[in-house]
């Protein structure tokens, strides 16, 4: 039964008295002085504060402990707190506990036995770097949302100080670089070189001193992860021992954390990068053309087959580092991802991947041949190294057979990208690239999800798919193609699609337009941009868009009258150089026979066959690069 007792008390001191009201004397017979608390004669309105106590549930031996609290200015405040504590105690909370939040967090992480190694490491970092310094001193029973707000306010204040520190370091580094350039330019000038060398050494010393204590800025995403760790701890405490009245972490408002959207290296972005050295975003993806250039560049690298697998299979680096030959079949063309190597403080640990990441990947004939070739290279190195060769059973190893550290993979890939002169991407960005290339090839998002080892297709769609220019253009032209437009034209040669153009009931046609004179255009249909004409129309148009739209109507009319289905329309006008766009147009059409069993098993063609002009330019640039 809830029967609290309320009373006033103060902090006044005076002669102490026993229960009978007699003075309490010390060993020498003098009155003892101490806190007179509830016996102060001044107690009343304006003096002293309210306190209460009530008896808790019977404990060991049947003894009831008293729950006490004090320091309330008003009686109503004391009553409210007494009811709150009684309800918490009735729910199972240990309201008598003096445990600090720091002790609770350490007890919680110790009790979590099933955490993955990397997850535990992340939790421990959050506890040691943030939760213990800011919340560790607070009693568990006193924790409230305001304490969390104060912690995140302190983190943002630290961020401001670290930002200023980083700006100072950047300036010191610029000064050091300027001093070094001045020293180099002074070559051959004895006195000037001596002075510039001293200036460089001073600037370098200032930079070393300025870098001391430089700390990373805690991003909004990191703050959200810290709050998730705290929420997990509080939820565990509530569920297991009703240690908290609420999960206060769920009531905190944090700065929004936006996920970095993958961006494609378009020609405009590449030009900006070449001029400024700035990446448009932290997550970048190559186009298919840039991907091919990289593969051509690294074809002689020892790990060429590894880079090829990253690009077309999209695995994680830890999965590739752990892949054994026993999980690969070059005959049946598959490999199974069933283990991974994780890095914690640069130490390697082998463990099973998440349940959704255990998967079997199908290999193309080319990928299978690459794995056969790499195994042959390993065998050759085994013979060369003899007894010094390290037998690990891994697919991907160094030349002496030693297993590859996942971080070494990232650093090696970064170096190869730098040497290639291509715009920079990270090794992990190749997962974005693999997903994007699969979607560009018309692969269903569900298949891409299973390929990457995600728990849901939403994660795949939101995280690992970039929209290549080819995909955006195909989508835009496909949308335009569904709206009939009236573009008058004259048929000079009726369109006839030869039987040789059909592959599995699919045919691809190109409508190549060229300005004849003034506003007169001629548009011819071809299997390839440089093949024989299958038909031709003429029209009056002011530009290439009109010629392309007339071609769409011409092909659609032909399909309607011959029982065919227009599956895809792709406008390639923007592939022409700026000076040629007023005189040429190019549109590609994918046509299907309507009696075909369906398109679900047919891979629609993708990519742009080069026009003569573009092919010539590519050959020239590659020849220059080779030279």
Q: pLDDT value at position 20?
A: 77
Report phi then psi at 242, rounded to 5: 50, 45
pLDDT of the residue at 19? 75
Q: Which residue has the higher pLDDT, 81 or 46?
A: 81
pLDDT in tens, 98-153: 889 999 999 999 999 888 788 888 999 999 999 999 999 999 888 999 999 999 99
pLDDT grade, residue 596 (50/70/90)? very low
Task: Kindly report, residue by residue over 412-433, the tens digit of the pLDDT.
Answer: 999 999 999 999 999 999 988 8
- Residue located via tokens 């693999």: 434
| pLDDT 10s digits, 220-273 | 999 999 999 999 999 999 888 778 878 999 999 999 887 777 888 989 999 999
3-state class percentages of the chain: helix first, strand second, coil last, to nearest 5: 50, 20, 35
* pLDDT value of residue 270: 93
User: How far is it, in rounded angstroms, from Cα 94 to Cα 56?
Assistant: 10
pLDDT, average across residues 363-390: 93
Report, as an integer, the average pLDDT of 581-610.
62
**Residue 460 CA from chain centroid, whole number:** 11
Q: What is the pLDDT of residue 354?
A: 63
Q: Between 249 and 543, where is the model more confident?
A: 249
Per-residue pLDDT, 390: 93
**Which tokens belong to 605?**
């063609």
Name the average pLDDT for the chain: 83
173-222 confidence digits (pLDDT tens): 999 999 999 999 988 888 888 999 999 999 999 999 999 999 999 999 99
pLDDT value for 353 = 65
> d(Cα 457, Cα 449) in Å, to the nearest integer?
5
Average pLDDT over residues 64-74: 83
Q: Rounding to the nearest 10 degrees, give the CA dihedral for residues 420, 424, 428, 433.
A: -80
Q: What pLDDT does 352 receive?
A: 64
The pLDDT of residue 619 is: 34
Kindly indicate the confidence band of residue 290, based on its pLDDT and cuts at 50, 70 and 90.
Answer: very high
What are the two backbone dihedrals, phi and then psi, of residue 454, each rounded to the nearest 5 degrees?
Answer: -105, 155
- Percentage of the chain surpassing pLDDT 90? 41
The pLDDT, as a whole number, for residue 260 is 78
Q: What Å distances lie between residue 267 and 114, 407, 422, 519, 570, CA to CA?
A: 48, 30, 12, 31, 20
Q: Tell me if 56 sits within 8 A of 65, measured CB to CB.
A: yes
Residue 386 has pLDDT above 90, yes or no: yes
pLDDT for residue 332 is more than 70: yes
Q: What DSSP string describes 442-483? A: T--HHHHHHHHT-S-HHHHHHHS----HHHHHHHHHHHHHTS
356 phi/psi in degrees, rounded to 5: -75, -15
What is the model's pLDDT at position 26?
82
Strand, coil or helix: 125: helix
Distance CA 341, CA 352 (A): 8
Annotate 527-551 with DSSP letters as a single string. Answer: SSTTS-EEEEEEEE-SSHHHHHHHH
Using the predicted structure, report yes or no on whether residue 608 has a pLDDT greater than 50. Answer: no
Given this model, what pLDDT does residue 610 score?
43
Contact 544, 620 (CB under 8 A): no
pLDDT digits (tens, 9 = 90+) for 466-497: 555 655 555 555 544 555 556 789 999 999 99
CA distances to 38, 326, 345, 394, 415 from 402, in Å: 77, 17, 20, 9, 20
- The answer to whether 463 and 259 are in contact (CB under 8 A) is yes
For the stretch 336-362, pLDDT in tens is 988 887 766 656 666 666 656 788 888
Which residues, in sequence order, are CB contacts of 322 under 8 Å at separation 6+?
Answer: 339, 340, 341, 350, 394
pLDDT for 299: 93
pLDDT tens track for 15-62: 888 777 788 888 888 888 888 877 787 887 778 888 888 887 776 666
Q: Report the percent of the chain where pLDDT is more than 70.
A: 85
Q: What was the pLDDT predicted at 607?
A: 39
Question: From its phi and psi, is residue 92 left (phi > 0), alpha (psi between -120 and 50) or beta?
Answer: left
Cα(358)–Cα(336) distance, integer angstroms: 8
Q: Which of 156, 163, 118 is nearest to 252 (CA)?
A: 156
pTM equals 0.60
Query: Residue 65's pLDDT is what?
Result: 74
Nearest in space to 240 (alpha carbons), one of 364, 357, 338, 111 = 111
Label residue 163 exposed, middle or buried (CB < 10 Å: 0-12, 13-18, 19+).
exposed
């Amino acid at each position: 039964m809830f029967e609290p007792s309320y009373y006033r008390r103060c902090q006044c001191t005076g002669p102490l008295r026993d229960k009978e009201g007699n003075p309490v004397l010390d060993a020498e017979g003098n009155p003892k002085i101490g806190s007179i608390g509830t016996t102060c004669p001044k107690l009343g309105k304006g003096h002293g504060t309210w306190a209460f106590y009530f008896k808790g549930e019977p404990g060991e031996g049947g003894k009831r402990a008293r729950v006490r609290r004090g320091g309330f200015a008003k009686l109503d405040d004391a009553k409210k707190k007494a009811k709150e504590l009684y309800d918490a105690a009735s729910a199972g909370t240990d309201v008598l506990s003096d445990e600090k939040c720091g002790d609770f967090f350490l007890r919680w992480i110790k009790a979590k036995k099933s955490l993955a190694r990397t997850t535990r490491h992340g939790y421990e970092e959050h506890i040691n770097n943030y939760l213990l310094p800011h919340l560790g001193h607070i009693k568990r029973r006193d924790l409230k949302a305001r304490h969390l707000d104060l912690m995140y306010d302190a983190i943002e204040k630290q961020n401001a100080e670290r930002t200023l520190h980083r700006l100072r370091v950047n300036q010191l580094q610029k000064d050091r670089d300027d001093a070094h350039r001045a020293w180099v330019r002074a070559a051959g000038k004895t006195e000037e070189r001596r002075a510039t060398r001293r200036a460089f050494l001073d600037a370098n010393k200032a930079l070393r001193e300025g870098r001391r204590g430089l700390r990373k800025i805690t991003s909004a995403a990191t703050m959200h992860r810290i709050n998730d760790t705290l929420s997990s701890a509080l939820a565990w405490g509530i569920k297991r021992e009703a240690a908290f009245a609420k999960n206060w972490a769920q009531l905190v408002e944090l700065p929004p954390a936006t996920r970095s959207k993958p961006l494609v290296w378009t020609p405009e972005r590449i030009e900006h990068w070449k001029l400024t050295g700035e990446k448009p975003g932290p997550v970048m993806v190559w186009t298919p053309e840039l991907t091919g250039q990289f593969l051509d560049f690294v074809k002689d690298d020892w790990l060429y087959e590894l880079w090829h697998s990253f690009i077309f299979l999209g695995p994680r680096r830890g999965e590739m580092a752990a892949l054994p030959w026993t999980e690969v079949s070059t005959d049946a063309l598959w490999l199974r991802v069933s283990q991974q190597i994780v890095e914690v403080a640069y130490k390697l640990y082998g463990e099973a991947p998440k349940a959704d990441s255990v998967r079997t990947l199908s290999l193309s004939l080319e990928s299978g041949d690459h794995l056969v070739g790499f195994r042959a290279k390993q065998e050759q190195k085994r013979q060369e190294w003899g007894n010094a060769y390290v037998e690990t059973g891994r697919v991907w190893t160094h030349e002496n057979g030693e297993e590859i550290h996942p971080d070494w993979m990232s650093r090696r890939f970064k170096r190869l990208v730098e040497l290639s002169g291509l715009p920079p991407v990270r090794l992990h960005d190749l997962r974005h690239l693999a997903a994007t290339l699969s979607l560009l090839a018309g692969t269903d998002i569900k298949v891409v999800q299973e390929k990457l080892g995600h728990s849901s297709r939403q994660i795949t769609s939101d995280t690992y798919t970039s929209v290549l220019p080819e995909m955006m253009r195909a989508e835009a032209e496909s949308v335009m193609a569904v709206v009939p437009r009236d573009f008058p034209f004259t048929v000079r040669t009726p369109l006839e699609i030869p039987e040789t153009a059909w592959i599995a009931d699919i045919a691809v046609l190109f409508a190549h337009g060229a300005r004849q004179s003034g506003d007169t255009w001629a548009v011819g249909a071809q299997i390839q941009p440089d093949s024989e004409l299958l038909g031709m129309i003429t029209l009056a148009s002011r530009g290439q868009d009109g010629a392309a739209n007339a071609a769409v109507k011409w092909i659609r009319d032909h399909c309607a009258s011959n029982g065919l289905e227009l599956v895809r329309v792709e406008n390639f006008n923007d592939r022409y150089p700026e000076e040629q766009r007023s005189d040429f147009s190019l549109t590609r059409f994918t046509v299907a026979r309507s009696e075909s069993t369906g398109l679900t098993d047919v891979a629609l063609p993708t990519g742009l066959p080069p026009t003569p002009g573009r092919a010539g330019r590519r050959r020239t640039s590659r020849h220059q690069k080779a030279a």
